[in-house]
Chains A and B, each alone.
Chain A
Amino acid sequence: MAIADARTGSGDPPKVSLLYNPALRSYVYQIVTIVVIAWVIWYAWHNASQNLARANMTAGFGFLNSRAGFDVAQSLIAYSSDSTYFRALQVGLINTLVVSAAGIVTATIVGLLVGIGRLSQNWLIARLCTVYVEIFRNIPPLLVIFFWYLGVLALLPSIRTIFQHLEENPDAVFFISNRGIYMPAPVFGEGFGYVLTAFAIGIVAAIAFAIWANARQRATGKRPPVLMVSLGLIVLMPVVVFLFAGMPLSLDYAIPGSFNMRGGMSIGPEFLALFLALSLYTASFIAEIVRAGIRGVAKGQTEASYALGLRPGQTTRLVVLPQALRIIIPPLTSQYLNLIKNSSLAVAVGYADLVAVGGTILNQAGKAIEIIAIWMLVYVSISLVTSLFMNWFNAKMALVER
């Protein structure tokens, strides 16, 4: 029809029904979307307010200031059962961050080693690494947590055995029991601040030296001894200051109490089980990412680098790794985020992370909506911050590409 019209030259464009106008259609679809979403929200809100009224409950975040009334086993900040719910949630958040940070560091190291091991020329090492990856990748992390908590750590010697052991060897300072690992805690005396200051200055100076060394290398072709100077600045200088300040550090030993060990530093079995499980589980995924990243660098790059006369170590450090990192970083980010999210499995063994503490409050105060809102807010913010950081890192790395 349209063609016929054009040929006869009759002026008006062909009439198209409004029904087929894409712009109008898109408006209609979007209005329908808004109406549906608004209705769902209204429906949920309406029912929730009715349900809450029935149960004689009110919504709102005012409850955060009331007394918590429950104890938390492991806390890095001052907390007692008289503290507020808000404080309890802070403790939970800090515990989440602690176990996630520890897990990320360990998982990265183990994953890197296993990933490189799978590519090793050594048949036995490559097979062992493959077995590790295939086992841990295919088992739920929750099961691994239970495995450590109920299967392994529960079989360690009891606290009473430790007491007996202490009577026989009074000098022992380091214990492993089914209630956790006990070790001496450092007590920082007066003047330890100088040591920390020296340490901070050392790091700044080492970075400055590295920058200067790079400039110097570009100008003269000779590289100053960066490693030795950095070690001296970061390690040796604080040690010297420490000795001069009169060694302001003492140890607080763990000693037997009435039912449990007192003093010292202890790491609970809940933390250990969660930490080990998260690290080993995530490491198996990181290993695969690292392997894919290294294999993604073309062989010609290595050969070219050898042709230029670089040694194998230099080749890995200066040629292969920077290129592999570009492939590795994006999936690595999502693995880190997964680890942080999986740390919420703490609730299964009673490690007081954000979800476990929140769950207790949820049961105790019945503030389901508020607690779940707080959870979502915190986890989404952590995810956002982590991805922002890793995106920045990725962008920095991507500049290597020319």
Chain B
Amino acid sequence: MSDISYVRERFIPAESPPISDASAYGWIRRNLFASWSDSVLTIVAILAILYYLPPAIDWLFLSAVWTGTDRTACLTVDQGGALPTGWSGACWAYVGDRFVQFMFGSYPRDQLWRPLLVAAVFVALLVPFLIPRVPRKGLNALLLLVGLPIFAYILLLGGRFGLRHVETSLWGGLMVTLILSFVGIVISLPAGILLALGRRSQMPILKTACIVFIELIRGVPLITVLFMASVLLPLFLEPGNNIDKFLRALIGVSIFASAYMAEVIRGGLQAIPKGQYEAADALGLNYFHKMTFIVLPQAIKLVIPGIVNTFIGMFKDTSLVTIISMYDLLGVVKASFGDSGWITPVTPLTGLIFAGFVFWLFCFGMSRYSAFVERRLDTGHKR
């Protein structure tokens, strides 16, 4: 009696997945050459990259001049230097030589420990503030947003506690950019909250005043607000006043930022369900308690990404003070193009690429952080 049942004694080795699915070939096929038009686009893109990228890398790094003490390091033979004719490349030697100026402007060189100390304190307070797990956020925020500005004001300006007075006209570079945007942030948050609350209030006159202010400032370019602060402010104050130029720019930037912040926060206020307000009323809370304990914490949490985006915009916008002849990072870099020690054909491009990279680093960092917070808050809400 023959046994017709068939029992397999060992497994068949698993088939490898279809070649179009798992291999590099499959990936390329799917993502680069899925259709005719796709293939054409890919080939054009690859050709463009091959055409532009190597010269760009060559200009930025390979042909670049890294060391040198004056302009001759970055000049070709016919221009009076030592480099071969037809050379073109980045002149990083110039950025290296001017680096301190790009960071601090004309701040007295023997006093540089003061901005450096402020920067160190800033980082020490900011980093724990940004990491969600670190406790005591309230104290941290208080130190960062109130303590630090006072500390920085005393230390940077000097004139007391035996510190030498350093005029604001000597300030410059990245330091000014950071101070302007930080003060803009610190002032615009509370001012924006007040304006947003005013705009949503039931009182017609208060409401109108806030709407007019917000819409007027948002309707005009920052540069006109800066002109207003720098030209009109001295005119509108007591005769004979001599209001500091840096302070004028600070006021201009803060006014502008407050109006934009107000709109962001209003968005958050509008997103809070009416029941929250009514519940607060039912509990017998007064307006102040209702806002600080119930509405604002939820509203601000909702619009944190929007707030960070406003910060990014403000950080970029501070570069406009260059136009009212102040020396922020961009202003210092631009002013250095006229510096006879470093006039070369490649200086402007090198300087601007450096400044652009610094701005990019800060803005990109902020936007990444904003995305991180957004994701975090998102999971918190989904439950």
Measured CB to CB, the residues of A under 8 A from B are 26, 29-30, 33-34, 37, 43-44, 47-48, 50-52, 54, 120-125, 128, 134-135, 137-144, 146-147, 150-152, 154-155, 341-342, 344-345, 347-348, 355, 359, 362, 368-369, 372, 375-376, 379-380, 383-384
Chain B residues in 8 Å Cβ range of A143: 319, 330, 352, 355-356, 359
Cα distance A44–B176 when bound, in Å?
29
Which of B224, B235, B323, B352 touches A51 (beta carbons < 8 Å)? B235
Which of A54, A138, A383 touches B312 (beta carbons < 8 Å)? A138
Given contacts A29-B203, A48-B235, contact A121 B34 (CB under 8 A): yes
Q: Is B135 an interface residue (CB 8 A)?
A: no
| Contact count A vs B, C-beta below 8 Å | 160
Which of B209, B216, B359 touches A139 (beta carbons < 8 Å)? B359
The stretch that binds A, out of B40-48, B77-85, B148-156, B290-298, is B40-48
- A59 → B minimal CB distance (Å): 10
Is there an interface contact between A151 and B235, defined as CB atoms closer than 8 Å? no
Is there an interface contact between B42 and A138, defined as CB atoms closer than 8 Å? no
- B352 → A minimal CB distance (Å): 5
Is there an interface contact between A372 and B355, defined as CB atoms closer than 8 Å? no
- A279 → B minimal CB distance (Å): 17
Chain A residues in 8 Å Cβ range of B231: 362, 368, 372
Q: Can you list 27 pairs linking A and B with CB atoms under 8 Å apart?
A: A26-B203, A29-B203, A33-B209, A37-B209, A43-B236, A47-B236, A47-B237, A47-B238, A48-B236, A121-B31, A122-B38, A122-B42, A137-B363, A138-B312, A139-B356, A140-B320, A140-B330, A146-B348, A146-B352, A147-B353, A155-B345, A341-B220, A345-B221, A362-B227, A372-B228, A376-B219, A383-B220
Is there an interface contact between B356 and A142, defined as CB atoms closer than 8 Å? no
- B365 → A minimal CB distance (Å): 9
Is there an interface contact between A147 and B356, defined as CB atoms closer than 8 Å? yes
- A48 → B minimal CB distance (Å): 5
Chain B residues in 8 Å Cβ range of A150: 334, 337, 348-349, 352
A47-B238, A143-B356 known; 12 other A-B pairs, CB under 8 Å?
A: A33-B206, A33-B209, A44-B236, A122-B38, A140-B359, A143-B330, A146-B334, A147-B353, A150-B334, A150-B348, A368-B235, A383-B219
- B119 → A minimal CB distance (Å): 21
Which of B32, B224, B235, B317 touches A123 (beta carbons < 8 Å)? B32
Cα distance A54–B234 when bound, in Å?
13
- A73 → B minimal CB distance (Å): 18
Cα distance A380–B365 when bound, in Å?
33
Cα distance A347–B46 when bound, in Å?
39
Chain B 69-93 near chain A by CB (<8 Å), digits 1 or 0: 0000000000000000000000000
Is there an interface contact between A122 and B34, defined as CB atoms closer than 8 Å? yes
Question: Using a CB-CB cutoff of 8 Å, which residues 362-379 of chain B contact chain A?
Answer: 363-364, 367
Chain B 206-243 near chain A by CB (<8 Å), digits 1 or 0: 10010000011011111110011001101111110000
Cα distance A12–B236 when bound, in Å?
55
Is there an interface contact between B203 and A379, defined as CB atoms closer than 8 Å? no
Chain B residues in 8 Å Cβ range of A123: 31-32
Cα distance A345–B322 when bound, in Å?
11
Is there an interface contact between A125 and B360, defined as CB atoms closer than 8 Å? no
Q: Who on chain A is nearest to B46 by CB? A: A124
Chain A residues in 8 Å Cβ range of B45: 124-125, 128
Which 4 pairs across A and B sit closest by C-beta, in order of nearness?
A138-B363, A123-B31, A44-B236, A151-B349
